[in-house]
Amino acid sequence: MSEFAELKFRDKVYQLPVVIGTENEIAVDISKLRAQSGLITLDDGYGNTGSCISEITYIDGDKGILRYRGYPIEELAEKSSFVETAYMVMLGELPTNSQLAEFRAKLAEHEFLHESLRHHFEGFSSDAHPMAILSAMINAMGCFQPAMIEPEDDDHFLDSAARLISKVRTIAAAAYKQSIGHPMIYPRSDLPYTSNFLHMMFSKPNNRYEPTPEVVKALNQFLILHADHEQNCSTSTVRMVGSSQANLYASISSGVCALWGHLHGGANQAVIQMLLEIHESGMSVDQFIEKVKNKDANMRLMGFGHRVYKNYDPRARYLKSACDSVLQNLGVKSPLLDIARELEERALNDSYFVERKLYPNVDFYSGIILRAIGIPLNMFTVMFAIGRIPGWIAHWRENHLNPNGRIHRPRQVYNGQTVRSYIPMEER
């Protein structure tokens, strides 16, 4: 039997349908509220607004749970590969052997950039941030496949998805090579996805780079843990842009821009900058924490806090222990990891952080792993973006296939000047 919530306003009672998700999340459907009562809902920053019904990712922020299509991320990070996880996130089920082989073949087929697209790199300044390059290049990809991708056709959709996932890796590595003035390294179809990326990043025309299995594993885990995170800022952006029927490339390119900010994906770069600053200035962890608590120049403990997690972010928990084994396997010593651990311990025992339920998020430890495997600082957020592409694609598709889907168009409460007459220049 359908359930309803009641809203009493002035002298009338309105019945609002209740929607219950498969994990018993309860929502009040207010879509008809304005038509019935004239009321809209107000929720700055969408802190308590469900923007869609989705089957892709489940988060329990209080318990610290994250699952893609029902699969716990810890299990995927242990047992799956990024390519397999990407397929599952986008299509809903783990691939069979032949489906996976076919998808890998598609990734190999699409790994090259069109020569005209490659020439775009020459137009960027050498100090351009790779996120700006990534966003511009993804949008430019739309010029080479102008027809609207058909999200309802599995084969066509998967081909377009593979094209994007594959080329993004080539673009990201080329953006890095551009930033250091080195020639672009062509992809190698014989290498799996992650090794191929590392090859394009670190090989030189006169020196082939061979990653160790530990580095490949660490990068795979990093990408898997970033593959989706339901309605965050960048994913909501992709869905918002896609809701206007904009093509996949334009929508994903907007997602990259949204991810760039330091309150979102840019935090992984900001965390390392913060740790370096503490290390190089000789400031103690206590002094740094005091500055954050005093909100000195709006300082924040980067990599801490989350809109949804009011508990330890499960990705951070996994990456924290991965840090230890990656650094040990690679024989890397990191004073930054020591500082991070001390910051965490200090913050988790401080009432400022405890009362606000601020715990480490995914970005707190991920940068230490990326640094250990040799990824330069300005590429950290690009790495996040490479990981998140399957999630964005899955949400873009879900949005398109939603039979009740409409253009996203929030309302507002207007609080500006009421009507007034134009004042001629000479009277102002």
* Residues with catalytic roles: 306, 363
Instruction: Give yes or no for residue 265 binding ligand CMC (CB under 6 A).
Output: yes
Looking at beta carbons only, is 7 or 233 nearer to ligand CMC?
Answer: 233
Task: Give Cβ neighbours of residue 223 (< 8 Å, ≥ 6 apart).
Answer: 82, 85, 194, 383, 386, 387
Smallest separation, CB 364 to ligand CMC (Å): 7
Cβ contact 338:282 at 8 Å: no
Smallest separation, CB 396 to ligand CMC (Å): 18
CA dist 428 to 405, 418, 420, 423, Å? Answer: 48, 19, 14, 7
Q: What separation, in Å, do the N-terminal and C-terminal C-alpha atoms of the chain show?
A: 64
Looking at beta carbons only, is 162 or 370 nearer to ligand CMC?
Answer: 370
Smallest separation, CB 303 to ligand CMC (Å): 5
Instruction: Give yes or no for residue 314 binding ligand CMC (CB under 6 A).
Output: no
Beta bridge partners of 165: none
Window 180 to 239, contacts with ligand CMC (CB under 6 A)? 232
With tokens 């004239």, the residue in question is 38
Nearest residue to 161 via CA among 218, 227, 225, 226: 227
Site string for ligand CMC, 332-371 (x = CB under 6 A): ------------------------x-x--xxx--------
Looking at beta carbons only, is 263 or 354 nearer to ligand CMC?
Answer: 263
Cα radius of gyration (the chain): 23
Using Cβ positions, the residue closest to ligand CMC within the complex turns out to be 305
3-state secondary structure of 4: strand
Looking at beta carbons only, is 118 or 310 nearer to ligand CMC?
Answer: 310
Smallest separation, CB 370 to ligand CMC (Å): 14
Among 118, 188, 291, 307, binds ligand CMC (CB under 6 A): 307
Instruction: Give yes or no for residue 263 binding ligand CMC (CB under 6 A).
Output: yes
Q: Which stretch binds ligand CMC (CB under 6 A): 20-28, 126-134, 236-244, 262-270?
A: 262-270
Looking at beta carbons only, is 182 or 356 nearer to ligand CMC?
Answer: 356
Looking at beta carbons only, is 295 or 333 nearer to ligand CMC?
Answer: 295
Site string for ligand CMC, 276-305 (x = CB under 6 A): ----------------x-------xxxxxx
Query: What does the block give as tokens for 190?
Result: 């014989």
Smallest separation, CB 206 to ligand CMC (Å): 38
Beta bridge partners of 56: none
Instruction: Give yes or no for residue 256 binding ligand CMC (CB under 6 A).
Output: no
Task: Give Cβ neighbours of residue 325 (< 8 Å, ≥ 6 apart).
Answer: none
* 335: alpha, beta or left? (left if phi > 0; alpha if psi -120 to 50): alpha
Query: What does the block give as tokens for 207?
Result: 């020196």
The total number of residues shown for the chain amounts to: 428
- The C-alpha atoms of residue 288 and residue 347 are separated, in whole angstroms, by 11
3-state secondary structure of 18: strand
Smallest separation, CB 377 to ligand CMC (Å): 16
Task: Give Cβ neighbours of residue 151 (< 8 Å, ≥ 6 apart).
Answer: 157, 396, 397, 400, 401
Query: What does the block give as tokens for 140?
Result: 């430019």
Looking at beta carbons only, is 159 or 230 nearer to ligand CMC?
Answer: 230
DSSP conformation letters of 277-328 = HHHHHT--HHHHHHHHHTTGGG---TTB--SS-SS--HHHHHHHHHHHHHHH
Looking at beta carbons only, is 306 or 397 nearer to ligand CMC?
Answer: 306
Site string for ligand CMC, 23-52 (x = CB under 6 A): ----------------------x-------
Among 120, 188, 264, 341, binds ligand CMC (CB under 6 A): 264
Instruction: Give yes or no for residue 387 binding ligand CMC (CB under 6 A).
Output: no
Smallest separation, CB 296 to ligand CMC (Å): 11
Task: Give Cβ neighbours of residue 328 (< 8 Å, ≥ 6 apart).
Answer: none
Number of other CB atoms surrounding residue 142 within 10 Å = 18
Window 92 to 151, contacts with ligand CMC (CB under 6 A)? none
Looking at beta carbons only, is 46 or 144 nearer to ligand CMC?
Answer: 46
Smallest separation, CB 45 to ligand CMC (Å): 6
**Which residues contact ligand CMC by CB under 6 A?**
45, 232, 263-265, 267, 292, 300-307, 356, 358, 361-363
